[in-house]
Structure 1
Amino acid sequence: MSNRFIQKLRGFAALDAAEIEALLAATSTPRTLAARQDLIREGDRPGPVFVVLEGWACRYKILPSGTRQVLAFLMPGDACDLHTGLIAEMDHSIQAIVPAQVATISRGDMDALMARHRGIANAMYVSQLIDEGTMRAWITSMGRRTSIERVAHLMCELYLRARNIGLTQASQLELPLSQALLADSLGMTPVHLNRVLKTLRSAGAMTLKRGSLLITDPAKLVHIAGFDENYLHRRLRSTNADS
């Protein structure tokens, strides 16, 4: 299925034909965003639910010093801000990393979809819970993992998330994230990140270059990261996909 949003939701709940048709209609007119174009900015009034259909985006926050912290990476199929309509203003910004196709579903339309279609509601709630689990994994990395563990853990996560929606080829993933952007997500300087990437490459675990991630030894990378995929709930995905 070419609509990765529907593909992702089908991994979380069984969707019938009417639910799939409703999701197709809701995402049928995406808008094109340029690289580095903001979908919404901190301080803005919350708007619709954003659905990334093609391209990558990120959540980020700018500190008073001007430095940036990347809070999450969004890839094709990801939706964001299901419940932000309950708050007065955004506490972070969302930006396209590369040219992207993003559908917007109004708050009223999303509420109606979830009220009429139980499968869509269940899938959206599971998706949000997994997003929250991913945030907890990032907090754990920032607080307790060493630099090399932190980098290895993020690479495992991004590869697995991308593989779940068919973006990988064997052990390789096109990763349109600059070292500066990755450094901002990992709480490192680009220089420090570059040293860690060289260490991982020398260890034979992975190679990151020219927008491409190659995992040369998955078992070694998982071991270095201490990676446990349970927060991504792939077992749930597999069970629903087979039903």
Structure 2
Amino acid sequence: MLHPIVRKLAAFGPLGADEEAVLAGLGTGAQRVEGRQDLLAEGAAPESAVLIVEGVACRYRHRPSGARQITGYLLPGDLCDPDLVHLGRMNHSVGTIGPCRVARVPHEVLSDLTARHAGIARALRLAKLAEEETTREWMMNVGCRSAIERVAHLLCELHERLGTVGWATRSGYDFPLTQQDIADTAGLSNVHVNRVLRQLRLMRLVEVGGRRVDILDLAGLRRVAEFQDGYLRPAAE
């Protein structure tokens, strides 16, 4: 199977064999990090981007009260964050959800790579645009959609993204999400998320539990979510 970053970036356009080999090499030396550990801390000045090779991480911020908002998920093949060197210091944190394998990629390595490989540079730019589109879609989620639509949309998005890199099948995917993680993503309470997941299960659309998302009716789940995946691939046309 191709390396996750190769599978992800190839979705934005063709890559040459040499470009695929270079990308796969970025994962060399990946190390295991346990769940619920910070990879990048708010206020830090990162010297390297983080490549998720296995597992799931998230971007998040805490309020002074301790309340957390998850603002994005990083899946296998995601590179976080090739442009942070231009920002000086992090204004959010990045932490693992479950156990991960991650590789640190120095910014000078990325700069050299994009300078020598136009296909990779283009794919990374399009991947960044997709991330920006995803942020706007999440704003729609919290601002306009009902609780059941928010949760269904999140589960559909994760299914689509994981499928692109070979980590999901039509029937579902492994994912170490807790109800609190979903609540912190969708702007809901833990109790409300529990009710929504129960409703989705009673509708025979999806079952979530035991670090697994089992999709019972993908078409039905997408209808409830009003899910359209075009925002994940802005260069598809």
Q: TM-score w.r.t. structure 2 length?
A: 0.95
Using the TM superposition, give the Cα deviation of residue 49 of structure 1 relative to its aligned residue in structure 2, in angstroms: 1.4
1:163 aligns with 2:163: yes
Letter matched to residue 164 of structure 2: N
Does the 8 A contact of 1:38 with 1:95 survive in 2? yes
State whether structure 2 residue 148 is matched by structure 1 residue 148.
Answer: yes
Q: Determine whether 1:51 maps to 2:51.
A: yes
Determine the structure 1 residue equivalent to 2:104. 104
1:75 aligned residue:
75
Question: Residues of 1 paired with 2:159 and 2:214: CA distance?
Answer: 9
CA distance in 2, matches of 1:126, 1:17: 20
Say how many residue pairs are matched: 237
Where structure 2 has 5 or more consecutive residues not aligned to the other structure, the ranges are none
Task: Determine the C-alpha separation between the residues in 2 that align with 1:153 and 1:24.
Answer: 31
Structure 2 partner of 1:190 = 190
Q: How far, CA to CA, are the matches of 1:170 and 1:26 in structure 2?
A: 29
Sort the Cα spacing of 1:206 and 1:25 in 2 relative to 1 into closer, same or farther, 3 A: closer
Q: Secondary structure at the match of 1:135?
A: helix
Indicate if the aligned counterparts of 1:46 and 1:87 stay in contact, CA closer than 8 A. Answer: no
Instruction: Supply the AA of the counterpart residue of 2:200.
Output: L
Alignment partners' CA distance in 2, 1:13 and 1:219: 27
Matched AA of 1:172:
G
In structure 1, the residue matched to 2:199 is 199
Structure 1: runs of 5 or more not aligned: none
Shift of the 218–211 alpha-carbon distance from structure 1 to 2, 3 Å rule, reads same
TM-fit CA distance, 1:189: 1.1
Residues 201, 234 of structure 1: alpha-carbon distance in 2 compared, 3 angstrom cutoff:
farther
Does structure 2 retain, via aligned residues, the 8 Å contact 1:13–1:120? Answer: no
TM-score by length of 1: 0.93
- Equivalent residue number for residue 14 of structure 1: 14
Counterpart-to-counterpart distance in 2, 1:129 and 1:152: 23
